[in-house]
Amino acid sequence: MIIIAGPCVIENEKVVFQVAQELKRLSELYPEFSFVFKSSFDKANRSSVKSFRGPGLEKGLEILSKVKEEFGLKITTDVHETWQVEPVSQVVDIIQIPAFLSRQTDLLVASAKTGKPVNVKKGQFLAPWDVKNVVEKLMYAGAKEYYITERGVSFGYNNLVVDFRSLVIMSSFTKVIFDATHSVQLPGGAGDKSSGQREFVLPLIRAAVAVGCDGIFMETHPDPDSALSDGPNMLPLNSLESVLETIQRIRNALSSYSTG
């Protein structure tokens, strides 16, 4: 079970290190999980041109390198353009493709050619069976390890829903991760920024783990209400341990059921 977690965007070293320190502690409590720290150096698709985007590539990779060195965690971050792929691949363990760019052939191919694992966020506009074409692009470019992350599908305006059948469908041709926090996002729901329904994160995690996903993606922050990006749908950092306990209990129950 892969656990990808971290603040949505790199706000500053203090927030990043606080989250990384907690992930390191939890990785020692839950050695059965594979922890990956995630944070973005640039949020290139914010609702408003005035929204905070992050520190940029150079400074962002510098901070992520410090996380890797100090805490020994695996790292992932988004790339938005092909020229970013090579410098990012020198730092991260997994390259992440944003949902809006999940069909961007050149970006997928460039990421796959680095030899790094690639995690593609499934576009809100894609059917689960359409993701097979994304996987074929990665395979064509030589990717040996790749994941698809479900993050809900557009349902009318400013709303996302999760069809849990997609986890089963996509698992027939790739490993599937469930994005619990973006799945409760309300895109553009606050006018010049997105809103969210944090109260539904844990119920959706329970469902995804019970269905049988290969990992959980969840953004977390020491104080989500003051976060500079995606605050309404992020988990409070102090609730992360109880979420992991819930995941483990469900996995144990599934294991007992399958062997009983």
Neighbours of 37 (CB within 10 A): 26
pLDDT single digits (tens) 158-193: 899 999 999 999 999 999 999 999 999 988 877 777
Round to whole Å and give the CA distance between 232 and 181. 9
Q: How many domains does the chain have?
A: 1
Stated as kind and residue range, the H or E segment containing 168 is: helix 165-170
Structural domain containing residue 178 = 2-256
pLDDT band at 258 (very low <50, low <70, confident <90, very high): low
> Which CATH number characterizes residue 231's domain?
3.20.20.70
Largest separation between any pair of C-alpha atoms in the chain: 56
pLDDT single digits (tens) 50-66: 889 999 999 999 999 99
DSSP state of 191: S
- What is the pTM assigned to this prediction? 0.95
